[in-house]
Amino acid sequence: SQTIHQWPATLVQPVGSPLSLECTVEGTSNPNLYWYRQAAGRGLQLLFYSVGIGQISSEVPQNLSASRPQDRQFILSSKKLLLSDSGFYLCAWHGTRYLWVFGPGTRLTVL
């Protein structure tokens, strides 16, 4: 079965510092991978998706970027964090049309 790992689980970073969140997937190959963000008390907003190595599509303009260096690895980055980057970041895997799996999430607090 497919498993998604995210780390770190929690992160507290100062404003202006860099960010790197990692997502890895097990049990599948050539997955579609996604980054969602959830601000406190709000719904999930799609940030990036990737259909293959080196292929990144951005859904909203922002302070973040994504990369896919390996088939089962998806990374979310920032050069300089803003307060508004705080939130719960979820990685998701999309297999067949009707199969979506979410990771455990990373809670990011920017101070």
Partner 1 sequence: GESVGLHLPTLSVQEGDNSIINCAYSNSASDYFIWYKQESGKGPQFIIDIRSNMDKRQGQRVTVLLNKTVKHLSLQIAATQPGDSAVYFCAENSMDSSYKLIFGSGTRLLVRP
Q: For strand 55-58 and strand 44-52, is the pairing parallel, antiparallel, or unpaired?
A: antiparallel
| Cα gap 20→108, rounded to integer Å | 11
Only segment of 13-21, 37-45, 68-76, 79-87 that touches partner 1 (CB under 8 A) = 37-45
The answer to whether 35 contacts partner 1 (rule: CB under 8 A) is no
| Cα gap 67→56, rounded to integer Å | 7
> Is 109 in contact with 88 (CB distance < 8 Å)?
no
| # residues contacting partner 1 (CB under 8 A) | 26
Nearer to partner 1, 7 or 100 (CB): 100
Nearest to 35 by CA among 19, 23, 18, 17: 23
Nearest to 106 by CA among 17, 16, 12: 12
| Per-residue binding letters, 49-88, with partner 1 (x by CB under 8 A) | x-x-------xx---------------------------x
The answer to whether 98 contacts partner 1 (rule: CB under 8 A) is yes
Q: Single out the residue of 21, 25, 34, 48 in contact with partner 1 (rule: CB under 8 A).
A: 34
Instruction: Please report, as ranges, the residues that interact with partner 1 according to CB under 8 A.
Output: 32, 34, 36, 38, 41-46, 49, 51, 59-60, 88, 90, 92, 94, 97-98, 100, 102-105, 107
